[in-house]
Structure 1
Amino acid sequence: MPLSAILAEFARPGGQTTVVDFRAGVPGLMVTALQLVGRGVRYEPNFAGHLLSLRWGTRWTLRPEHNAWRYHRLIERLAGRHLPFDHRLDVPQAARTQARRLRGSGDRPLVLLGGNARGNKFMSEAQVAAMASNLIDAGYQVLYLVTPGDGPTPQALLARESRLSVVGPERELGVEAFGDLLLALGEMAAAYVGMEGGLGHLFATVMTPTVIVNNGANLERWRPLSNRVEVVTAPRRGRTANVSDTPVESILEATHRLLAAGRRDHADLVY
């Protein structure tokens, strides 16, 4: 939807509209700023260092490295004061009930796996099946999360490792309800293992210990906002790095290191 249509929808007679633009491309931000001149819109763009968004009476400050803090700084600039920062999300009790039902009555620690993505970020069936087999043999309950994108299918994974459990967007669950279910599973999990991307950031909002396979993202800007994170770097083949080329041994080494640290430092937690 064009920005002009959104502005028309929320326009208030005699009121001022504020637009916060989280995009990072300077040319697009400059074009949008020019398009909004004279329209009574307060525009706060995500320019590097905020230099081009500096206004009279607003103190210039360096932009933080991590994107989440950059976005927070934009909101603080609008408020004109410091605001508390909290990246966590609340989990509905109904989602927790459904997550407990999915997990069952066993007492094995839960590990979540994710491998579906687009481009060169998805994991292969062989990778996920090998990780699942290793973790199940080590005494963990392993649940694979089916999300949109290329990569393993539930049928192919179960054919390789029948002890693996699989959960995906059920027909009776909408997008929001499925997201809440994932958060509830993340709350009770000893670890999430998957590629750098949305799932890792989602589980960071409930502080799930995480292993991410990174295919080239700048982690100073894009790392998950949680404290217990292991990063495995995908090998580069020419100009690209494919997550599916990452040795399973490297991912498992990082996973067991993360799990061992959790047992050592958080022995009082029951997952």
Structure 2
Amino acid sequence: MLTLLHLLSAVALLVWGTHIVRTGVMRVYGARLRTVLSSSVEKKPLAFCAGLGVTALVQSSNATTMLVTSFVAQDLVGLMPALVMVLGADVGTALMARVLTFDLSWLSPLLIFIGVIFFLGRKQTRAGQLGRVGIGLGLILLALELIVQAVHPITQANGVQVIFASLTGDIMLDALIGAVFAIISYSSLAAVLLTATLTAAGAISFPVALCLVIGANLGSGCWRCLTTARRTRRRAGWRWAACCLSWWGA
């Protein structure tokens, strides 16, 4: 039971780390990121790269998509460029998930230590907010390390084995679990990172991991639609969810 609690707390730390990075970057570069997105709509490759780059910075494709849908609502961006940006945002999530799953355990304490110094010393300045970002990245790496440490003993527990055994590759069930976690954590990146860590530790199989990742992307798309109140802003989100479903079906 205590080991399960350790795993849950590590997952919570992972979600919190992504939140800290996102808020820190938005406070420092929020206006500039909006300018980059709004000015990159003329060429699709540029729009794709803008969505990818912004997501890599804010650690959240949801945050990028919310910016894009606000531009759609104001008629600053057409639907096709908006979809290209959202595609870039999801690719950015995949790339960041790959980078963060490397063995960077040595970097975590360094980022947290330097981040705390900058954040506490110059809290209201840009340097302080960049320190906040460093703390968030350090917490993400620390959380992934804690998840790996907790998974090995927890997979030997009978109750936990039953839980993981229920994830047998059933596409609908596993995708639903991935979608729910992505919605709860407000971060498909957190869901993908957790899935990758559990797969590397041997807790879940690759087919299950694939279904969870698909579900995380679908949940992220549904969350984008639910959080955009105006119908004009929902269109980009619904079309992207439809794209995810079509790729899934393929």
Q: TM-score, normalised by structure 1?
A: 0.26
Where relative contact order (Cα < 8 A, 6+ residues apart) is larger, the structure is: 2
Who wins on radius of gyration, i.e. which is larger?
Answer: 1
TM-score (norm 2): 0.28
Q: Which has the higher strand share?
A: 1
